Amino acid sequence: MPQSSFDEEELLLQLKSAFQSYNQKFQATSNFAELSFQDDKTLFSKSYNDIYYSVDGASTEKDWVFLKGNDLYSRWPLDYSNNFNYFNIMEIGFGTGLNFLLTKMLWNKSHTSMLENKTKVKLNYIGIEGHPINSDDLFKIYNSSNDHQQYANEFHKTYQQLLPLEMPAVSNYYFEKENISLTLLWGKIEEISEIIFANKVDKLLTEKIDSWYLDGFSPKCNLEMWSDNVFKMLQQFTKIGGTAATYSVSQIVKAQLIKSGFEIKKVPGPNKKKEILLGKKLSFMK
């Protein structure tokens, strides 16, 4: 069955206009991330007192939680026999972009023959990030581990072009060869979600998202990432049968996902993480 997408051009136009009006009314900010390496290998946020990830083995870990967690290995390749087919992912907490790069690799592997034939599959990836990592730091991070080095040059230049001058802001890059559109919403999720709902941009995204990567810090130190508005987005934007994955198995996240119409399950996590949480959007509210 062909899957529908949102009107990307219209989404970008509406977001740009909404963010501009917001920035005219309020003082625009630009809070770049404050980072350090713990034990040389664990990427740490000084602002949130929590870790991004341990650089060694990060790809395997992220792949486990977000790509396998969202069942992408069996949902891809997309069926494109009849019509154009889209897959739409939204990530909250874009950070280093590692999840995006892993997703892009799997997308390419899964769709090689279709992409060569310029056929009809497209990936739309929307990332939200409130504390952009400056491009020098990102370069250091990618070069800090063999695991990451393959991405360093590939993404760094693109990333520099996408960084915002003020926030909230939106930027977009189209990867032509892969037919992937990367849209980054820069700003705090609490502001961005308010703007989206207040300006009726939400209408464009209703029931359009296939998968969510919920990659905020732990609710203990980052409660805004798990607020009512975030789950309102999950409830409204997710297609029936769409999925979500997160490291957090906290009570608040479980309860909010259920309230947003998801069926949830805990499954074993990667490395030292005992469990992670997966959700699937039901066709009815329990």
Ligand X SMILES: C[S@@+](CC[C@H](N)C(=O)[O-])C[C@H]1O[C@@H](n2cnc3c(N)ncnc32)[C@H](O)[C@@H]1O
Site for ligand X, rule CB under 6 A: 33, 52, 93-96, 98-99, 128-131, 188-190, 215-217, 222, 224-225
Least CB distance to ligand X at residue 69 (A): 13
Q: Tell me which residue has tokens 């003020």.
A: 166
Q: Going along 93-144, which residue ranges are E strands? A: 121-129
Least CB distance to ligand X at residue 113 (A): 29
Question: Is there a contact between 209 and 239 (Cβ–Cβ < 8 Å)?
Answer: yes
8 versus 129: smaller Cβ distance to ligand X? 129
What is the C-alpha to C-alpha distance for residues 163 and 157, in angstroms, rounded to an integer?
Answer: 11
Question: Is there a contact between 96 and 60 (Cβ–Cβ < 8 Å)?
Answer: no
Q: Which two tokens stand for residue 8?
A: 């990307």
98 versus 195: smaller Cβ distance to ligand X? 98
Residues 6+ apart with CB under 8 A from 162: 171, 172, 173, 182, 184
80 versus 217: smaller Cβ distance to ligand X? 217
Q: Rounded to an integer, what is the distance from CA 220 to the centroid of its chain? A: 21
Least CB distance to ligand X at residue 81 (A): 34
Angle, vertex CA 156, rays to CA 222 and CA 190, nearest 5:
25
67 versus 225: smaller Cβ distance to ligand X? 225
166 versus 190: smaller Cβ distance to ligand X? 190
**Around Cβ 153, how many Cβ atoms within 10 Å?**
11
Least CB distance to ligand X at residue 74 (A): 23
Least CB distance to ligand X at residue 137 (A): 11
